[in-house]
Structure 1
Amino acid sequence: MARQLRAEQTRAAIIAAAADLFDRQGYESTSLSDIVEHAQVTKGALYFHFAAKEDLAHAIMEIQSAVARRLAEEMDSRGYTSLEALIRTTFGIARLSVEGPVHRAGLRLATGGVVIRPPLRHPFTEWLEIISRKLVAAVRESDIHQDIDVDAVAHSLVSFFIGTRVVGRSLDPLARQPRRMAEMWHVLIRGLVPVPRRARYLSLATRLEREIGAG
């Protein structure tokens, strides 16, 4: 049991080190030797868990995907409206990105440098499906205009969400990410939500930004 625990701790340390380097340097610019040194493990320990750098990248994206799914499911279970659950999910992902490198690295890996192999699905495909379901439900709940093109809005929202974070990586300090998320939602809410329901969701976006900042 102790040996298994040490193996799990070593694997987690390798993943954390790789994520930090992938986030800061990029996938192509990071070598396995860099990861070994940063994780403070032997090459043998790394190869015991991961046969190649691509396997490490996949492990990081698998973690990111699983956490995002759990976050969306948690929001679903709390009785929020569909639009509130969607907004809270995106802010939850932003919080995770601020708190640790795995989710930041997952995004950077998903936007280039790594070929995603089955059974792993591309995270953008998963996000499109989650957002589309939420938008359809929000239309039924009259929180979003009845005449929207759900596919177009879902694609635009994913692009907006990813683009905000990619641009922010170059131009903004990490702590500003919640502000950018709130700005994104203020634009989207004004375009998607009927006027009588708009104030509620604008207030929610502002409140969630402050909660992340306070945390």
Structure 2
Amino acid sequence: MAQQDRAVQTRDRIVTAAAGAFYRVGYADASITTIANAAGVTKGALYFHFGSKEEIARAVIDEQHLRVTTAAQEIWIATASPAETMMLMCADLAERLVDDVVVRAGIRLTNGGAIFDPPTRAPYDDWLLTFEELVGGAVGAGEFLPSTDAARLAHFIIPAYTGVQLLSDVLTNMGDLKERIGEMWEILLAAVAEPARLEELRALGARIFGTAG
């Protein structure tokens, strides 16, 4: 059991070290030697766990997606309002993109889909399905207009978030990401919220994204 624990810990160290390297210098310039040195393991130990750099990168993406979807599920379970749930999920991801190098590197690798063949699309598919269900829930709860098309709005929110995140990364190194996502939601709510619920939802957004007052 102790040997299994050590193997898991070694694998985790490699994934974390690789995330740091991929984020700092990019996938192409992060060498196996650099990753092994950062993880404090030999190249032989690294290859025991991973057969290639691409396999390590996919493990970073998988770990990133596990972390953010686990948090998203916890938010969903704990929150009654579908609209609030979506905003909380967006805010949580924004915070993790600033604070968690595995999430930050994993998202960057996912956005750079041309790196892999076939491209990594599973995280996008998961988020699209999640938000389609939540948008439908917001319509059913009287938070969003009855005319709102859940699938179409989900296919707008996820790419919009991705675009805001990419620009925030370039312009401020994610320093303004949560604020910009809050602005994105202000615009969305003005377009899709039931008029009778708009001020309530705006107040929720201001609290969640730190723009109250």
Same fold (TM over 0.5): yes
The amino acid that maps onto 1:77 is I
Shift of 1:158: 0.5
Q: CA deviation at 1:54?
A: 1.2
Cα deviation, 1:146-183, whole Å, max 9, x if unaligned, reads: 11222221111001111111111111133322111211
Asked whether the 8 Å contact 2:143–2:194 carries over to 1, the reply is yes
**1:185-200 alignment runs, 5 A limit:** 185-200=185-200
Q: Which amino acid aligns with 2:76?
A: D
Report if the CA contact (8 A) 1:110-1:122 is conserved: no
Following the alignment from structure 1 to structure 2, what is the Cα–Cα distance between the partners of residues 92 and 73?
Answer: 12
Report the counterpart of residue 100 of structure 1 in structure 2: 100
1:86 CA displacement: 1.2
Residue 121 of structure 1: how far off its partner (Å): 5.6
Closer, same or farther in 2 for the Cα pair 1:47/1:168, shift >3 Å?
same
* Aligned residue in 1 for 2:117: 115
**Residue correspondence of structure 1 range 70-81 to structure 2 within 5 A:** 70-81=70-81
Q: Deviations over 1:51-97 (max 9, x none)?
A: 11111111112122222332232122214211111111111111221
Q: Give the AA of the match of 1:35.
A: I
CA RMSD of aligned residues (A): 1.9
TM-score in terms of structure 2 length: 0.90
Aligned to 2:39: 39
> Aligned partner of 1:210: which letter?
G
Within 1, Cα distance between the matches of 2:205 and 2:38? 37
Amino acid corresponding to residue 160 of structure 2 in structure 1: F
With a CA cutoff of 8 Å and minimum separation of 6, indicate the structure with the bigger relative contact order.
Answer: 1
Structure 2 partner of 1:13:
13
Contact 1:58–1:116 (Cα < 8 Å) also in 2: no
Alignment of 1:123-202 (within 5 A): 123-202=123-202
CA pair 79-174 structure 1, distance change in 2 beyond 3 A: closer
CA distance in 2, matches of 1:168, 1:29: 23
Once the 2 structures are TM-superposed, how far is the Cα of residue 28 of structure 1 from its aligned partner? 2.0
Using the TM superposition, give the Cα deviation of residue 29 of structure 1 relative to its aligned residue in structure 2, in angstroms: 2.4
One-letter amino acid of the counterpart of residue 115, structure 1: D
Deviation at 1:186, TM superposition (A): 1.2
Cα distance in 2 for residues equivalent to 1:92 and 1:116: 29
Check whether the contact 2:165–2:174 (CA below 8 A) recurs between aligned residues: no
Q: Distance in 2 between matches of 1:102 and 1:116?
A: 22
| Alignment partners' CA distance in 2, 1:23 and 1:189 | 33
> Which residue of structure 2 aligns with residue 57 of structure 1?
57
Q: Which moved more, 1:26-35 or 1:152-161?
A: 26-35
Report if the CA contact (8 A) 1:18-1:35 is conserved.
Answer: yes
